[in-house]
Amino acid sequence: MNFGFGQRYVVVNIPAAFAEAVENDVVVRRYRVIVGKTEKPSPTLTAQITSVVLNPTWTVPSSIAKTEISAHMRKDPTYLSRMHMEVLDAHDNPIDPHSVDWSGTHTPNFTVRQHNGTFNALGAVKIDMPNAYSVYMHDTNQRNLFSDDYRFDSHGCSRVDNVRDLAAWLLKDQPKWSRAAIDAEIASGQHLEVAMAKKVPVAWIYLTAWMTRDQTVQFRNDVYSQDEQLLEATAEEAAFFSNAGSHPLTAHMHATQ
């Protein structure tokens, strides 16, 4: 599938739970990904990859802070410290977690951030791609999950297997950032954002059926029931127009044809 993105781009097919790096209309890399749960689906979108972040911190989305983090803190006041997380005010100043109301009855007016490290939920690499949904691609500290056939377990972001290889492909036009250099920087433990010299387009798509270059037709489950919704909408539209001729508001249209 050609998106008209140019020579290099990345595609994530959500139902297939795979990402592909495309160069000159040829898939040159393919990666297993973990995408959104059915109740927290990954969105379809197009964006531009702007940077690769090594040893990223994780700023917890407010929705997760309000529900999941708050629930953990009510059960275990040591949860944040065990998870290497801190609470920050609007000016990025640390707050004592014990001074926070973790009842979950109000919208948090604070930020929860997880330090970088092997324990970090984003793993060692984050791929920034600004978009309206605040989702991105990243590593994970639970790489064993990539061996699962059912890989719909995130809050909407796309976790990428062997993401260091994808990072090296994205940065291959920047000689300083070979795969060895990326590995060395990650090993240093230092947080670093590497800006893309040239942005790379990315598309997250929802295809449950497609044909490969060798004419093989591939099918995947409609995990988010989007095909089902489309079929229902099409059926409703067909029913509307089939009945339109007898409706007082539309009968005149047929009479004048």
27 and 93 co-located in one domain:
no
Q: Which pTM does this prediction carry?
A: 0.84
Sign of the four-CA dihedral 143, 144, 149, 154 = negative
Ranges of residues in the chain whose predicted pLDDT is under 50: 240-241, 244-245, 247-257
End-to-end CA distance of the chain: 41
CA dist 110 → 19, 76, 78, 216 (Å): 34, 19, 18, 51
> Beta partners for 214?
none
194 and 161 co-located in one domain:
yes
Is there a catalytic annotation at residue 157? yes
For residue 246, give the amino acid letter: S
Please give the pLDDT value at position 242.
52
Helix (H/G/I), strand (E/B), else coil: 193 = strand
DSSP 30: E
CB 112 within 8 A of CB 80: yes
DSSP 81: H
86 and 27 co-located in one domain:
no
Structurally, the chain folds into a number of domains equal to 3
67 and 182 co-located in one domain:
no
42 and 165 co-located in one domain:
yes
Domain boundary among 72, 89, 114: 114
140 and 13 co-located in one domain:
yes
What pLDDT digit, counting tens, does each position of 90-128 carry? 899 999 998 888 886 665 678 999 999 999 999 999 999
Quickly tell me which residue has 């976790």 as its tokens.
159
21 and 65 co-located in one domain:
no
Is there a catalytic annotation at residue 191? no
Please give the pLDDT value at position 43.
97
CB 54 within 8 A of CB 195: no
Residue 164 is assigned to a structural domain of this protein? yes
47 and 152 co-located in one domain:
yes
202 and 75 co-located in one domain:
no
Q: Exactly one of 98, 106, 115, 138 is catalytic; which is it?
A: 138
Domain that holds residue 84: 60-114
Q: Exactly one of 157, 191, 252, 254 is catalytic; which is it?
A: 157
What pLDDT digit, counting tens, does each position of 208-231 carry? 998 888 888 898 999 999 987 777
